[in-house]
A and B are shown apart, each in its own frame.
Chain A
Amino acid sequence: MTGVRAPRRRVGRMSGGRAVLIALVSTIVFFGVIGWVVVNSPGWPAVQRSFLDPAEFRDALPDSIARFRINVQLFLIAEVLILVVGLLLAVLRSLPGPVFFPIRALAVAYVDIFRALPGILVIFVLGFGVPALRIPGVPKDPFFWAVVALTLVYSAYVSEVYRAGIESVHPSQEAAARSLGLSRFQALRFVILPQAVRRVVPPLLNDFIGLQKDTVLVSFIGVVEVFRTAQNKQAAHFNWTPYLATALIFILVTIPLARLTDWLIARDRRTQARGGVR
């Protein structure tokens, strides 16, 4: 990423027209050479047939986009739950005093365990294992278990992000709130959390990006979403191009979100450098 940005800044320092011309020529030559080498390498026709088949692409793209809706739904539902459960965990973990020790311990154990487990394991166990118990009243819908699994895994990460945010608010803020007669809970709700949440928006967005991509993992328990669609097509046509369509969709959705995150982080850093609101 820095590799892309640095030259651009250097271009800016040179006299306008000439710099653009040099950059243009250099880019054309650079990618021209790479392109020529790739296209003339012995394996190229096979690669082209298998990965870059235009007919396959035209066939796969509409279905993939349609199926991507499932990923988006999964993402949106899980994200809301993750934000709520993560916050709850962070708050439980910061409960003071010996009375709350069991609750704190439980929250710590939860976070430790679900951060240690590979997401795919949790998805498998919940998606296949639990429905197989055939307990009456327990849902069998893989989409349901996909949401549960992603929420369990990601809320552990997100609670740590929240906790870092809560701890980054200076203790004098709590002292000021308590000195006005606010209870511990009121101080947390009106003074600490609003400041903490504002600070953790960029790292939370980073976790969102991870979640967005991890929605494909639930294809393994039979949720027919975008990745599963590509798999089915690949298996039927012996051609890998459908995966290209899936990749393209993720690239188009994720890059803007990643850029937004970078921008927010950079803005935060500028605010801090200015000695702004801490």
Chain B
Amino acid sequence: MSAPVALRIEGVHKSFGKLEVLKGVDLEVGEHEVVCLIGASGSGKSTLLRCINLLEPIDAGRIIVEGEEITAPAADVDAIRRRIGIVFQAFNLFPHMSVLANITLAPIRVLRRPRARAEADASELLERFGLADKRDDFPDRLSGGQQQRLAIIRALAMEPDLLLLDEVTSALDPELVAEVLEIIRELAGQGMTMVIATHEMGFAREIADRVCFLDAGVILEQGPPDRIFGSPTEPRTRQFLARIVAAGRL
């Protein structure tokens, strides 16, 4: 590959007790690339993303971000997390803080930005993503779609090199999904490197540069969306997609 590599995952294993969830995952993500992770519920998509962000320690393998091995024992975990944003399915906003404070907490405390600058940056992001009027509200006053947009803004405020999105629309009512997908589309257009775990196959097909099918703890098949969705080679991929089609989600 000629494009610089943003993220490389080599032989990552992860077990919870006796349950081996990841059994040697290899994956390479180039800069400005959008990779979608698909796979059955419980196949380990969330686990993989949490491992990349070091929220879960891995049992074996290596994860390399921008040339630095983040799974090395001496790695500075906090410094690495600064460069990798993650957005969770359940938003995980800070309920005791205003919208603005949710966004500025990490820039002020972690990046040591002056408050005025952090707030100006946050206001700009809120403006850009259509939440300017919610600046001083608390998260519980926002709709689900607005909450998820706020979670994305909160991650973006750290200006990450890499953004991980974990089923960011699956907790939303169908009519709210579009507004969140629109933001992701915009980020992709601006060249944000993203790894997206999703059940929205139509969206994955549209936005992904590459689609990876996670099955039985490994990435069984990967390739451009048209090939994966159009002519998958692995029988298990075909099976999975057939089930999705039957459920009316593709």
Interface residues of A (CB under 8 A from B): 172-173, 175-183, 186, 190-191, 194-195, 198, 276-278
30 A-B pairs with CB atoms under 8 Å apart are A172-B88, A172-B90, A173-B92, A175-B50, A175-B55, A176-B88, A176-B93, A177-B105, A178-B55, A179-B55, A179-B84, A180-B82, A180-B105, A180-B110, A180-B154, A181-B82, A181-B110, A181-B111, A182-B78, A182-B105, A182-B109, A183-B78, A186-B109, A190-B105, A191-B94, A195-B96, A198-B96, A277-B95, A277-B96, A277-B140
Complex interface: chain B residues within 8 A of A186 (CB): 109-110
Does B106 reach chain A (CB closer than 8 Å)? yes
Does B86 reach chain A (CB closer than 8 Å)? yes
Taken together as a complex, chains A and B put the C-alpha atoms of A277 and B142 apart, in Å, by 12
Does B53 reach chain A (CB closer than 8 Å)? yes
Contact A179 B110 (CB under 8 A): no
Interface centre among A176, A180, A195 (most CB of B within 10 A): A180
Contact B55 A180 (CB under 8 A): no
For residue B162, give the distance in angstroms from its CB to the closest CB of chain A.
12
Contact with A along B75-91 (1 / 0, CB 8 A): 00011011011101010
Chain B residues touching A, range: 20 to 34
Does B155 reach chain A (CB closer than 8 Å)? yes
Taken together as a complex, chains A and B put the C-alpha atoms of A190 and B102 apart, in Å, by 11
Complex interface: chain B residues within 8 A of A181 (CB): 78-79, 81-82, 106, 110-111, 158
Complex interface: chain B residues within 8 A of A178 (CB): 55, 78, 81
Taken together as a complex, chains A and B put the C-alpha atoms of A265 and B105 apart, in Å, by 30
CB-contacts of B92-146 with A (<8 A): 92-96, 105-106, 109-111, 138, 140
Q: Which 9 A-B pairs give the minimum distances between C-beta atoms? A: A181-B82, A180-B106, A176-B92, A277-B95, A181-B110, A181-B81, A179-B86, A172-B92, A194-B96
CB-contacts of B17-58 with A (<8 A): 50, 53, 55
Q: Classify the interface of chain A: helix, strand, loop or mixed.
A: helix
For residue A170, give the distance in angstroms from its CB to the closest CB of chain B.
8
Taken together as a complex, chains A and B put the C-alpha atoms of A276 and B139 apart, in Å, by 11
Contact A276 B140 (CB under 8 A): yes
Of B50, B93, B106, which contacts A182 at CB under 8 A?
A: B106
Complex interface: chain A residues within 8 A of B109 (CB): 182, 186, 190
Closest residue of chain A to B55 (Cβ to Cβ) is: A175
Contact A176 B140 (CB under 8 A): no
For residue A149, give the distance in angstroms from its CB to the closest CB of chain B.
35
Closest residue of chain A to B105 (Cβ to Cβ) is: A190
Complex interface: chain B residues within 8 A of A179 (CB): 53, 55, 81, 84-86, 155
Complex interface: chain B residues within 8 A of A176 (CB): 88, 92-94
Contact B86 A173 (CB under 8 A): no
Closest residue of chain B to A172 (Cβ to Cβ) is: B92
Contact B92 A278 (CB under 8 A): no
8 extra A-B contacts, CB within 8 A, seeds A173-B92, A180-B110 = A172-B88, A172-B90, A175-B88, A176-B88, A179-B55, A180-B154, A194-B96, A276-B140
Contact A180 B155 (CB under 8 A): yes
For residue A199, give the distance in angstroms from its CB to the closest CB of chain B.
10
Complex interface: chain A residues within 8 A of B85 (CB): 179-180
For residue B61, give the distance in angstroms from its CB to the closest CB of chain A.
20
Complex interface: chain B residues within 8 A of A277 (CB): 95-96, 138, 140
Interface centre among A176, A194, A277 (most CB of B within 10 A): A176
Taken together as a complex, chains A and B put the C-alpha atoms of A175 and B85 apart, in Å, by 12
Complex interface: chain B residues within 8 A of A191 (CB): 94, 105
Taken together as a complex, chains A and B put the C-alpha atoms of A183 and B81 apart, in Å, by 10
Closest residue of chain A to B101 (Cβ to Cβ) is: A190
Interface centre among B79, B82, B106 (most CB of A within 10 A): B106
For residue B199, give the distance in angstroms from its CB to the closest CB of chain A.
20
For residue B76, give the distance in angstroms from its CB to the closest CB of chain A.
10
Closest residue of chain A to B81 (Cβ to Cβ) is: A181
For residue B68, give the distance in angstroms from its CB to the closest CB of chain A.
15
Of A177, A182, A195, which contacts B95 at CB under 8 A?
A: A195
Contact B158 A180 (CB under 8 A): yes
Complex interface: chain A residues within 8 A of B86 (CB): 179
Complex interface: chain A residues within 8 A of B93 (CB): 176
Complex interface: chain A residues within 8 A of B158 (CB): 180-181
Complex interface: chain A residues within 8 A of B84 (CB): 179
Contact B106 A175 (CB under 8 A): no
For residue B29, give the distance in angstroms from its CB to the closest CB of chain A.
18
Complex interface: chain A residues within 8 A of B95 (CB): 195, 277-278
Taken together as a complex, chains A and B put the C-alpha atoms of A179 and B81 apart, in Å, by 6
Contact B140 A180 (CB under 8 A): no
Complex interface: chain A residues within 8 A of B138 (CB): 277
